[in-house]
Amino acid sequence: MTMWGYVALGWAITAVVLVSYVAALLWRGRRLIEQVPEGERRWL
């Protein structure tokens, strides 16, 4: 693998891990908020 290949791989792994975590976090929030009454959601 070329040096540019390693650079691209390192950046790609970073992006995939972080984007996956963001997606999971937002999904968990959307799933949980349905279980909480609207009046208690206070970060409007």
Task: Give least dist CB 19 to other proteins, A.
Answer: 11
Q: Is 28 in the site for other proteins (CB under 8 A)?
A: yes
- Binding of residue 6 to other proteins (CB under 8 A): yes
Cα 44 from Cα 32, distance rounded (Å): 16
Contact of 41 with 33, CB cutoff 8 Å: yes
Cα 27 to Cα 21: distance, rounded to the nearest angstrom: 10
Binding residues vs other proteins (CB under 8 A)? 3-4, 6-7, 9-11, 13-14, 17-18, 21-22, 25-26, 28-30, 32-33, 35-44
